[in-house]
Amino acid sequence: MSSTTTAAPPTILTGLWQRKLPHYPDTPARSWYLAVVVITSIALYYQLFVTGAVGNELIAYFDLSFAYFVWIFIIGAAFGAAASVLAGVLDRWGRANIVAYGVVIVSLLTLVAVPATTTKEQYLVVYCLVSIVEGAVLVATPALIRDFSPQLGRASAMGFWTLGPVIGALVTTAISTRTLDAHPDWQYHYRLCGVICLAISVIAVVGLRELSPQLRDQIMVSLRDRALIEARARGLDVRQLEQGQWRQMLRLNIVGSALAISLFLAFFYTIVSFLPVYMATNFGFSPAKANALGNWYWTANAIALVLAGIASDYLKVRKPFMVVGAVISIVGMYLFIGYTDEPATGYYTFAWVFAVIAVGTGIAYSTWMASFTETVEERNPAATAVGLAVWGGTLRSVVTVVLFGLLVVVNAAGPLVNHGHRLQEIQATYGPQLATIQQVGPETLAALGKNPNDQAAQLAALTRLTGATPAEIQTTAGLTTRYPEELATLQAIEPATQAALAADPRDAMAGLAAVGQVAKKFGTSPDQAIARLTAVQQIPPAEFAVATTVGPKLEKAGAQLQAVGTIPAADQEYLAAHGNEVQQAKADSPKQWERWWWICLLAQVAFLPFIFLMAGHWSPKKAAAEAEAHDRQVQQELAALTPQPAER
């Protein structure tokens, strides 16, 4: 047995490293520690998620392929998985130290190291360092939340803890929505994030504490257990409780439920990293507009997390909330999938669908976190950090696989991200010319580029542009060669005058108008103009009728072909190299994303069976009865531990 806990509580100075509390804190202090953990988590995830918010800018700055951009997340998640498992081993150094100094390290990396990177390799290395720290803190923060919250208030506390990634994402999108247009340089957003989070990390370093192992290695059902836990802690053998913890945690109800929630969050991790990319390539949303859309998801999710936790604690059950939340999220996912191939879908339609998914996810996730820690406690309350390390390692491993799967399933995103933006700029600048290229065909234009006198290519191009037959075009061209002056005379007559003369060749007013227009055009006398008009009658009527219809079209087509030459050679080469690829990707992208969203939906369905393996009741009535029985047991144990006054 260990000796009685007599260590003095840490001061501001000694608490910079020795953070363990010898006694369970009162409610004000406990609330403070919980608040510090939540705020620190928000700061950490703000720094992690800012990458997705400025993803388009990073791709442009480093000239990243979409595949490389995804691999940044994949490799970072893999390092985070390893760090989460390692955090279970490093727990002896102090959960609060891991959190406090972890956020300091990440803040300095965000403020200084990330903006200083000039190559994609440097950026990848720094991102992996951030992911390593995040993986460790991912395990330490819910462990602290569990320590400072009894089971009957666990869901509320976990609801607030899960605000870390959600509010972190909300802060990211809210700030980027308001600053991206004014500050398109991605470095600005990292520096701003670093300054804010460094200030928060100072609060964590100075103010965060944790329970001593003797106190935290017990199950605390309600705050009424405090005196009993402190009494038990005086004789608790911590070393015995810490033996074989990893073996104890490798159970289906722990590993299986960790895998289930990780799959359930596949949609969450997809949109937190690629929402701007998805909305830009499939619906034409700007980065700022896409991030604003994300605000709806994160806000609804945050509200649902907290309210579901409070309701779950009030009713003392978790499982019904997990089922209801999962079903709501699945319904929202089904609605969302229906809009995948409808590019005209409006902003607010997506906003409400996102809100439905977010509410369901929030209800399921906050109650799952509470239930998971209780499931771990059921095996061994001293193994909380190890159980959460199993969860954190599983989560980050699944994220790694999920992101790799996204890269394979949605391969059309690559050409759209890599080349779509520049092609859109070319389209905006040379829209009419590109329409001509598409109408004529790249092969025909290439033939004309090699030999402008290629008659077959000329005829093919003019046929497609005018809609006339080759015989009509040749007839018109022949008239141009044989009767150049006569046709020039006709071109001098205004179309309305020509129409009047065609309707009635003896129309005197139209005849005088024609004479005047020809005389003005060529600067001749009326007699010379009449002579030119008389010469027009030499043109065979049948051929003249064809030329009257086809001639203006040929003139317009010639101007169109000439305008194609104004496109710079570099842009023409880029179009030739990537135009067909991007066009095919645009056609494939909706189908591929739809397939991916179905995978995310099925992953949420797979979450449901594992709920039945976790600790806790389905019935609020049975849960309340068990809580009352536990309270009576606590009172009996306290009475047994309390010395009785000696009889006189």
Residue 54, CA atoms < 13 Å, CB-side half-sphere: 29
Range in 240-244, 480-484, 555-559, 606-610 the model is least confident about: 240-244
Alpha-carbon distance of 430 to 296, in angstroms, equals: 37
Range in 68-72, 118-122, 140-144, 204-208 the model is least confident about: 140-144
> What's the pLDDT at 321?
94
> What's the pLDDT at 12?
55
Alpha-carbon distance of 11 to 582, in angstroms, equals: 62
pLDDT tier for residue 23 given thresholds of 50, 70 and 90 = low
Rounded average pLDDT over 20-29: 65
| Structure confidence by residue, pLDDT tens digits, 31-45 | 777 788 888 888 888
Those residues with Cβ within 8 angstroms of residue 413's Cβ, 6 or more apart along the chain or in another chain: 66, 274, 277, 278, 281, 585, 589, 592
CA neighbor of 300 nearest in space, from 251, 208, 365? 365
> What's the pLDDT at 353?
95
Phi-psi region of 523 (alpha: psi -120 to 50; beta: other; left: phi over 0): left
Amino acid residing at 502? A
pLDDT tier for residue 234 given thresholds of 50, 70 and 90 = very low
pLDDT tier for residue 513 given thresholds of 50, 70 and 90 = confident
Residue 323, pLDDT > 90, answer yes
> What's the pLDDT at 116?
92
> What's the pLDDT at 219?
43
Other beta carbons within 10 Å of 334: 15
Q: Are 466 and 553 in contact (CB under 8 A)?
A: yes
Range in 126-140, 232-246, 428-442, 455-469 the model is least confident about: 232-246
Give the DSSP H/E element, type plus range, for residue 86: helix 66-90
pLDDT tier for residue 343 given thresholds of 50, 70 and 90 = confident
Q: What percent of the chain has pLDDT over 70?
A: 81
Rounded average pLDDT over 608-631: 78
Query: pTM for the full model?
Result: 0.68
Rounded average pLDDT over 95-111: 85
> What's the pLDDT at 373?
80
Give start and end residues of each alpha helix (H) in 316-346.
319-338
Q: Are 392 and 568 in contact (CB under 8 A)?
A: no
β-bridge partners, 211: 21
Range in 65-74, 105-114, 469-478 the model is least confident about: 469-478
Residue 641, pLDDT > 80, answer no
Q: Residue with structure tokens 């329409």?
A: 435
Alpha-carbon distance of 139 to 122, in angstroms, equals: 27
> What's the pLDDT at 152?
45
CA neighbor of 548 nearest in space, from 485, 466, 490, 486? 490
SS3 per residue for 148-182: CCCHHHHHHHHHHHCHHHHHHHHHHHHHHHHHCCC
Q: Are 152 and 221 in contact (CB under 8 A)?
A: yes
Neighbour-count burial of 303, counting CB atoms closer than 10 A to its CB (0-12 exposed, 13-18 middle, 19+ buried) = middle
Alpha-carbon distance of 462 to 473, in angstroms, equals: 8
Q: Are 618 and 319 in contact (CB under 8 A)?
A: yes
| Structure confidence by residue, pLDDT tens digits, 195-225 | 998 998 888 888 777 765 554 444 444 444 4
> What's the pLDDT at 597?
95
Phi-psi region of 284 (alpha: psi -120 to 50; beta: other; left: phi over 0): left
Range in 309-313, 342-346, 480-484 the model is least confident about: 480-484
CATH class, 27-229+249-424+580-627 region = mainly alpha
Rounded average pLDDT over 468-480: 79
Those residues with Cβ within 8 angstroms of residue 437's Cβ, 6 or more apart along the chain or in another chain: 445, 564, 575
The SS3 assignment for 277 reads helix
Rounded average pLDDT over 88-109: 76
Residue 491, CA atoms < 13 Å, CB-side half-sphere: 12
Residue 132, pLDDT > 90, answer no
Residues, the chain: 648
Nearest-10 crossing angle of helices 413-429, 266-283: 30
Higher pLDDT, 234 or 369: 369
Alpha-carbon distance of 9 to 19, in angstroms, equals: 8
Rounded average pLDDT over 234-253: 65
Other beta carbons within 10 Å of 513: 17
Both tokens assigned to 126: 């720094």
Alpha-carbon distance of 48 to 167, in angstroms, equals: 12
> What's the pLDDT at 360?
96
Amino acid residing at 479? L
> What's the pLDDT at 24?
55
Q: Are 358 and 50 in contact (CB under 8 A)?
A: no
Residue 28, pLDDT > 80, answer no
Tell me what the pLDDT averaged over the chain comes to.
Answer: 78
pLDDT tier for residue 22 given thresholds of 50, 70 and 90 = low
Higher pLDDT, 220 or 419: 419
Q: What is the CA radius of gyration of the chain?
A: 37
Higher pLDDT, 602 or 302: 602
> What's the pLDDT at 18?
64
The SS3 assignment for 345 reads coil
Q: For residue 117, give Cα distances in angstroms to 54, 64, 75, 190, 209.
A: 15, 14, 18, 12, 35
Alpha-carbon distance of 460 to 468, in angstroms, equals: 10
Residue 80, pLDDT > 70, answer yes
